[in-house]
A and B are shown apart, each in its own frame.
Chain A
């Protein structure tokens, strides 16, 4: 990027100083990301319909273009040409801002993603916090849409989404804290570099699973798609939206899902790193190209997993969903946080980020020791969690069984006492 800026300055055009050249290059790159991210909707919806169709033993779209590839284009044209309806007593301004905010919040999260070696959006040293902060704006958009539609089903959908996001944001943030602890940085590019020798998904599988489930809930996809449960609350918060405004909510959801896949790949699956090969050591253009391909393969794997979930899993009930969040994921993530912090300190190689810290007692074992330690702690906590959950389930089931057996059938007693 510095090369392009220097070239532009060397042209010696009027108005084209170092500052404006930098501004122009950043503007162009930002526009590309901001356009490509929503445009991914075209591929993602086609992929989703095809995959779900295959899971349900159907063929899926196959009329428009080869393999039905143009189906999404046709859908977009349909959406653009549909009538734009605003409910009679809707809160007009808020109603119209909400879809834009939904797209805005999900596209914004692409600003910090490291796409390939040397091709990083913004090297923000608070990248992880930025992800959480921008994600929160999506909730705001849902709440605004639900409230301003002046429809009780919309409002119910919005209330549900806030309860759900509040629940699942806690384990999600805790897992991000664990990643930051292990990598010693909150910048996404640094986290990718820290996984050069071993992916975090290998050394901390439980952390990854909690992150991924909480992430799916945060995106509001199946099996956590209660905010738009058709059988209960019509379409949830976007019941009243039509045409392109509905389309914008759809873009928001798909881009959010795409972003979650990127975060899973970058934070836990080593970004552009692959085992037994150093991608960054390749000659200049190839490092970036191969790195981007490797990352995209991982990203589309997670996209596929989420579609697979949608095709195979039934929807949670709202009480099950909140129970799963508060009574299982939150305690589990607290224990994980303590366990991982302990291991990281145990194997800490000493001073990090320029701060003098005494090395941990087991630092001699190096990175391999840390990986094994993290893995052992993760598996131990997972086993413990399963044991506790099954013991509690057995206890509550026995309680119900006792209650049933304690009740005598009253009909039989009265029948005998009668003369």
Chain B
């Protein structure tokens, strides 16, 4: 290969396609797997792919949060899914009588998304990617988006306190 120039290898594209295989393959595995545990593991694989996209977009903070919240918390989700399911060891189809309805809805959503992606004239910027996204995110969250940020925080606290209240042990006086 006399004219081979390694800098011409589209490295970013290769990584993008690998991540796409992870994301879509994982998602496909989630809905087709007959084993509950495998479905959850496929879900984690899919989230890994999304983490890869964030890294490609130089959004390090989002990538780490994606990995921490999803891959970390999904382990807990698996546990609960196993404990709450009726037959955790069973290998059975995930479909029930309403499969055609969800297929219809999913197809409709897909068509809408394809039309939107094709129709909108997406803005493209020549600016270099932001170097320090963490600082900018922090300033944005505690500056211009302070009120939404605090509202979300309050909402989550309310949800957590509510869950603790519902799940706590009853004292003897209440019984």
Binding site for B on A (CB under 8 A): 15, 17-20, 91, 94, 124-126, 129-130, 132-134, 136-137, 139-140, 143-144, 147-148, 159, 162, 166, 169, 186, 353-355
Of B4, B7, B60, B79, the residue contacting A124 (CB under 8 A) is B60
Any A CB within 8 A of the CB of B67:
yes
Of B37, B64, B82, the residue contacting A133 (CB under 8 A) is B64
Any A CB within 8 A of the CB of B68:
yes
Looking at the assembled complex, report how far the CB atom of A358 sits from the nearest CB atom of chain B, in whole angstroms.
14
Contact B71 A136 (CB under 8 A): yes
Contact B4 A15 (CB under 8 A): yes
Residues facing A in B133-166 (CB within 8 A) are 134-135, 139
Any A CB within 8 A of the CB of B6:
yes
Provide a sorted-by-A list of 22 A–B residue pairs whose CB atoms are within 8 angstroms.
A17-B5, A19-B6, A91-B35, A125-B132, A126-B61, A126-B63, A129-B61, A129-B64, A133-B67, A133-B68, A136-B68, A136-B75, A137-B72, A140-B44, A140-B71, A140-B72, A143-B79, A144-B41, A147-B37, A186-B134, A355-B135, A355-B139
Contact B64 A130 (CB under 8 A): yes
Contact B6 A17 (CB under 8 A): yes
Residue of B nearest to A169 (CB): B72
Looking at the assembled complex, report how far the CB atom of B102 sits from the nearest CB atom of chain A, in whole angstroms.
27
**Alpha-carbon distance between A15 and B3 when the two chains are bound, in angstroms:** 10
Residue of A nearest to B65 (CB): A129
Point out the residues of chain A lying under 8 angstroms from B63, CB to CB: 126
Looking at the assembled complex, report how far the CB atom of B149 sits from the nearest CB atom of chain A, in whole angstroms.
16
**Alpha-carbon distance between A129 and B137 when the two chains are bound, in angstroms:** 15
Residues facing A in B56-77 (CB within 8 A) are 60-61, 63-65, 67-68, 71-72, 74-76
Contact A136 B135 (CB under 8 A): no
Contact B72 A136 (CB under 8 A): yes
Contact B6 A15 (CB under 8 A): yes
**Alpha-carbon distance between A20 and B9 when the two chains are bound, in angstroms:** 11
Tell me what chain B mostly uses at the interface: helix, strand, loop, or mixed.
Answer: helix
Residues facing A in B91-150 (CB within 8 A) are 132, 134-135, 139
**Alpha-carbon distance between A27 and B155 when the two chains are bound, in angstroms:** 46
Residue of B nearest to A143 (CB): B75
Point out the residues of chain B lying under 8 angstroms from A162, CB to CB: 75-76, 79
Of B37, B71, B134, the residue contacting A94 (CB under 8 A) is B37
Point out the residues of chain A lying under 8 angstroms from B64, CB to CB: 126, 129-130, 132-133
Residue of B nearest to A139 (CB): B75
Any A CB within 8 A of the CB of B78:
yes
Point out the residues of chain B lying under 8 angstroms from A137, CB to CB: 71-72
**Alpha-carbon distance between A273 and B134 when the two chains are bound, in angstroms:** 26
Contact B61 A91 (CB under 8 A): no
**Alpha-carbon distance between A130 and B76 when the two chains are bound, in angstroms:** 19
Point out the residues of chain A lying under 8 angstroms from B139, CB to CB: 355
Beyond A143-B78, A143-B79, is A19–B72 a contact (Cβ under 8 Å)? no
**Alpha-carbon distance between A159 and B76 when the two chains are bound, in angstroms:** 9
Looking at the assembled complex, report how far the CB atom of A173 sits from the nearest CB atom of chain B, in whole angstroms.
9
Looking at the assembled complex, report how far the CB atom of B34 sits from the nearest CB atom of chain A, in whole angstroms.
12
Point out the residues of chain B lying under 8 angstroms from A20, CB to CB: 6-7
Residue of B nearest to A162 (CB): B79
Contact A19 B7 (CB under 8 A): yes
Instruction: Known A-B contacts: A20-B6, A133-B72, A137-B71. Give 8 more (CB < 8 A).
Output: A91-B38, A129-B61, A132-B68, A139-B72, A147-B37, A162-B75, A162-B79, A353-B132
Q: C-beta contact mask, B1-38 vs A, less than 8 Å → 1, else 0?
A: 00011110000000000000000000000000001011
**Alpha-carbon distance between A394 and B78 when the two chains are bound, in angstroms:** 40
Looking at the assembled complex, report how far the CB atom of B43 sits from the nearest CB atom of chain A, in whole angstroms.
12
Of B4, B5, B41, B68, the residue contacting A129 (CB under 8 A) is B68
Point out the residues of chain A lying under 8 angstroms from B74, CB to CB: 140
Looking at the assembled complex, report how far the CB atom of A330 sits from the nearest CB atom of chain B, in whole angstroms.
12
Looking at the assembled complex, report how far the CB atom of B62 sits from the nearest CB atom of chain A, in whole angstroms.
9
Residue of A nearest to B60 (CB): A126
Point out the residues of chain B lying under 8 angstroms from A166, CB to CB: 76
Closest 8 pairs (CB-CB, A-B) = A136-B72, A129-B64, A133-B67, A133-B68, A126-B60, A140-B75, A126-B64, A133-B64
Beyond A136-B71, A355-B139, is A91–B37 a contact (Cβ under 8 Å)? yes
**Alpha-carbon distance between A166 and B78 when the two chains are bound, in angstroms:** 13
Point out the residues of chain B lying under 8 angstroms from A140, CB to CB: 44, 71-72, 74-75
**Alpha-carbon distance between A244 and B74 when the two chains are bound, in angstroms:** 28
Question: Considering residues A19, A130, A132, A136, which has the most beta carbons from chain B within 10 angstroms of its beta carbon?
Answer: A136
Point out the residues of chain B lying under 8 angstroms from A355, CB to CB: 135, 139
Point out the residues of chain B lying under 8 angstroms from A353, CB to CB: 132, 135
